Structure 1
Amino acid sequence: MRPRDLLRRTRTGRLFVPPSPREASRLAELLRRETVGGALLIGAALVALVWANTPWREAYTALGALRVGPSALHLDLTLATWASDGLLAIFFFVAGLELKREFVAGDLRDPARALLPVAAAVGGMVLPAVLYAAITLGDPERLAGWAVPTATDIAFALAVLAVVGRGLPTALRTFLLTLAVVDDLIAITIIAVFYTETLSVVPLLLALVPIALFGVLVQRRVRSWWLLLPLAGVAWALVHASGVHATVAGVLLGFTVPVIRRSPGEGPGLAEHFEQRWRPLSAGVAVPVFAFFAAGVSVVGGGLGASLSDTVTIGVVVGLVAGKTIGVAGATWLVSRFTRARLDPSLCWPDVLGLALLGGIGFTVSLLIGELAFGGGTPADDHVKVGIVAASVIASVLATLVLRLSARRRARPGER
């Protein structure tokens, strides 16, 4: 044991031995797995739901309302706000890296291959919004949540597919991933355009300076964290001050990172390198912590009955379960029917139906949009959370049934 480790003791007096580089690498690799990230997300949400419905629920509320940060910089934010505005910026930075990789070197660079999943993503966002708007029509306050059921939680959906996808073609995961990438891009645009109440132009313009400097450094393949992190932090703070949701800063920073290697040869480009570095933090910390602070809703004492009878909850459930399924599957069928775009030969329509149901798993971004639409802690926001959880469970169960039936059908001789 190293001498400095002898001085590092826990409160119980036991020696604290930090993880070795190999152990840290194994942990990071574990957190990159979709099933692990999805399990942590679900676990954090379940802890929040249970805690919020116990006699100690006031402690849960007080924890989320605890303020930390420098007030002089107007960053004395609640822990819940730090989770949604700060930690989710890491999630959106990784999403930005993934988006750029797909557009530059992935499936989205080929219009012919991208047409079906792009159409599926658009259909899977338009129809849920239309159904939600139809259900809440006549109530402008509740209509503000029209975008809640438009988002698909890629981590959650891929985790379910990883668990139930044995016997299914790999093209199904590629289709879902491409669909989700486009879904994320549209969701980011919706947040920036429709959920920015006040806009301060000066901080937003100033934010372009650190973003541009960050871009110059990464284009020169600079990886030094002590240069990049301060610039990212300043960009995030300025975007936050502008009134635009601060997670947009993460996306913009991700877009500046180059995808293609400068020197020929094998190995990841800088975007893939950053994605591998930051995904464990996103999946293992940022998203679960956000889910913990966002998913805790009290349904005791009549709260569940009030939620289920509210048009907000009904609109979210119908939008995510029915809207996503019909929108994704219907758009895929229409485009394949009336254009030259075709499904991958290894896929069949029951696979598309199962994938469309997976699209109804809306969690991370849906919870974020709910908070932006109704304000955290309001009755409408609580009802949004109930609707998202209920819809995600229903969509997961139905998708599992459909995909397992499709896998069994493939296992039969002579059937695909």
Structure 2
Amino acid sequence: MHRSASPRLFGRGSWPEVRRIGDLLRTETIGGLLLVGAAALALIWANSPWREAYADLSNLRVGPASLHLDLTVAAWAADGLLAIFFFVAGLELKREFVAGDLRDPRRAALPVAAAVGGMAAPALIYVAINAAAGGDGLVGWAIPTATDIAFALAVLAVISTHLPAALRLFLLTLAVVDDLLAIVIIALFYTSELHLVPLLLMLVPLAVFTVLVQRRVRSWWLLLPLAVVTWALMHASGVHATVAGVLLGFAVPVVRRAPGPGPGLAEHFEHRFRPISAGVAVPVFAFFAAGVSVVDAGGFAEAFTDPITLGIVLGLVVGKTIGVLGGTWLVQRFTRARLAEGLSWWDVLGLSILAGIGFTVSLLIGELAFGTGSAAEGHVKIGVLTGSLVAALIATVVLRIRNAHYRRLCAEEERDDDHDGVPDVYQRDEPA
């Protein structure tokens, strides 16, 4: 007899999806540790007696001037390497909503609502602070809206919390939706000038790329040049070049053409490019983006009298917490769902605070909003780093208090008495 049940928030989901997400999170965790190490190295170098060498390296120009690609090394990291990051984000988002557990609108509603709330609340706090102070700070309203999943997972790895798989999946999906909304914001609000000819020409290699991948072509010598031309034309159009990465990711099909076991093309590309994104692209960007000289920025005292810095810190620490927690509560309120067995709102609070770790996309938007090398950009970096660190420390306290409880939940999830490789709880229960 079918047993009816109330809708559950943060249910376990299906075992294949949990196993896939577990593998993915291990890659992101390693990448997050590399990201933190790269940011720390940049901060140390930028505030050492050799900080001019760091600035010279960042400002070194490389590339063909005839193609408008004579960019600084730091710009190549932001415009070029981050396109790989957003390509993987596009693949992951499409994979989740086409073939993952989130293809069910009821399950997708929670991370989407939390992501929207987690972007709206920080933006409102930032705008309120900067509008009251006047000045030109309002242009940076989107800086505290992003969640850095790699940095957040690195924090989880350091504090060794046994966070349940459902909560980790929620954090990952929230960050992926967050990245998608961030790239829409970048395209709509941080495009200073638009050149229609290269933008229209960009559609040609993108269309050819789409046709080839839809035919399941995997030859890198065909696809890579098309991707590079798409990126270069997007860059020439004035729209931030990372948008090309998302469009290319969305073009890749998720479902296999022939039925049977094995990954689809999107999952195949994700396995290939996620290590490059997490292990190279994001850490290198962090190295060039996080290296703020406190002396050149006027010191911490001056930075924290700037409403830009205050808006970012409060947006990340307070705004993200209110937005993610509030979005989750609204879903619960209007669907009359209950938290999954064993979880409490303290767990959601800890996760909401952890979502306040903004780094990669926040620093990128800061560069686009205020320009590279400006005093305001230095204050943006101090605000992003400080807000992320405070959010990480508070989340660590909350999640560590609950860690003994998480350990018991994980022991139940991992129990496999029949030794068939599938935990018993996924065979006994229907996915929530």
- Say whether residues 1:260 and 2:255 are aligned partners: yes
CA contact (8 A) 1:32 1:283 kept: no
- Say whether residues 1:339 and 2:335 are aligned partners: yes
CA distance in 1, matches of 2:187, 2:322: 27
TM-score, structure 1 as length reference:
0.89
1:323 is paired with a residue whose SS is helix
- Say whether residues 1:217 and 2:185 are aligned partners: no
Deviation (angstroms), 1:335: 2.0
CA contact (8 A) 2:115 2:178 kept: yes
The runs of 5 or more residues in structure 2 that have no matched partner are 1-22, 413-432
- The one-character-per-residue Cα deviations of 1:335-354 (angstroms, maximum 9, x if unpaired) are 20232344333432111011
Pick the aligned partner of 1:329 from 287, 309, 325: 325
Superposition pairs of residues 77-96 of structure 1, within 5 angstroms: 77-96=71-90
CA contact (8 A) 2:161 2:406 kept: no
The one-letter amino acid paired with 1:80 is A
Deviation (angstroms), 1:190: 0.5
Decide whether aligned partners of structure 1 residues 341 and 185 sit closer, same or farther in structure 2, where only a CA change above 3 A counts.
farther
Q: Which residue of 2 aligns with 1:315?
A: 311
CA contact (8 A) 1:32 1:279 kept: no
Q: Which residue of 1 aligns with 2:105?
A: 111
CA distance in 2, matches of 1:168, 1:346: 12
Deviation (angstroms), 1:187: 0.6
CA distance in 2, matches of 1:181, 1:359: 12
Deviation (angstroms), 1:43: 0.8
CA distance in 2, matches of 1:312, 1:155: 25
Superposition pairs of residues 131-210 of structure 1, within 5 angstroms: 131-137=125-131, 138-164=133-159, 166-210=161-205
Deviation (angstroms), 1:158: 2.2
Q: Which residue of 1 aligns with 2:377?
A: 381
- Say whether residues 1:348 and 2:367 are aligned partners: no
CA distance in 2, matches of 1:319, 1:213: 42
Q: Which residue of 1 aligns with 2:287?
A: 292
1:136 is paired with a residue whose SS is helix
Q: Which stretch of structure 1 is more off in the superposition, 129-138 or 298-307?
A: 298-307
- The one-character-per-residue Cα deviations of 1:325-370 (angstroms, maximum 9, x if unpaired) are 1111112112202323443334321110111011100000000000
The one-letter amino acid paired with 1:203 is P
Decide whether aligned partners of structure 1 residues 32 and 329 sit closer, same or farther in structure 2, where only a CA change above 3 A counts.
closer
CA contact (8 A) 2:25 2:153 kept: no
2:221 is paired with a residue whose SS is helix
CA contact (8 A) 1:169 1:347 kept: no
CA distance in 2, matches of 1:68, 1:309: 37
CA distance in 2, matches of 1:389, 1:39: 15
Q: Which residue of 2 aligns with 1:120?
A: 114
TM-score, structure 2 as length reference:
0.86
CA distance in 2, matches of 1:290, 1:272: 24
The one-letter amino acid paired with 1:103 is F
Deviation (angstroms), 1:388: 0.6
CA distance in 1, matches of 2:160, 2:28: 12
- Say whether residues 1:306 and 2:302 are aligned partners: yes
CA distance in 2, matches of 1:135, 1:90: 34
CA distance in 2, matches of 1:382, 1:300: 10
CA distance in 2, matches of 1:166, 1:203: 48
CA distance in 2, matches of 1:145, 1:109: 34
CA contact (8 A) 1:171 1:347 kept: no
The runs of 5 or more residues in structure 1 that have no matched partner are 1-28
CA contact (8 A) 1:213 1:231 kept: yes
Q: What percentage of residue pairs aligned between the two structures are identical?
A: 72
Q: Which residue of 1 aligns with 2:13?
A: none
2:136 is paired with a residue whose SS is helix
CA contact (8 A) 1:165 1:403 kept: no
Aligned length: 386
Deviation (angstroms), 1:32: 6.0
Q: Which runs of 4+ in 1 moved over 4 A?
A: 29-32, 409-413
Q: Which residue of 2 aligns with 1:407?
A: 403
CA distance in 2, matches of 1:106, 1:156: 24
- The one-character-per-residue Cα deviations of 1:37-56 (angstroms, maximum 9, x if unpaired) are 01110111111111111121
Decide whether aligned partners of structure 1 residues 140 and 252 sit closer, same or farther in structure 2, where only a CA change above 3 A counts.
farther
Decide whether aligned partners of structure 1 residues 218 and 192 sit closer, same or farther in structure 2, where only a CA change above 3 A counts.
same
1:296 is paired with a residue whose SS is coil
Q: Which residue of 2 aligns with 1:363?
A: 359
- Say whether residues 1:240 and 2:241 are aligned partners: no
Q: Which stretch of structure 1 is more off in the superposition, 131-140 or 227-236?
A: 131-140
Deviation (angstroms), 1:284: 1.2
Decide whether aligned partners of structure 1 residues 30 and 59 sit closer, same or farther in structure 2, where only a CA change above 3 A counts.
farther
The one-letter amino acid paired with 1:278 is F
CA distance in 2, matches of 1:107, 1:260: 14
Deviation (angstroms), 1:411: 6.1
Pick the aligned partner of 2:224 from 225, 229, 243: 229
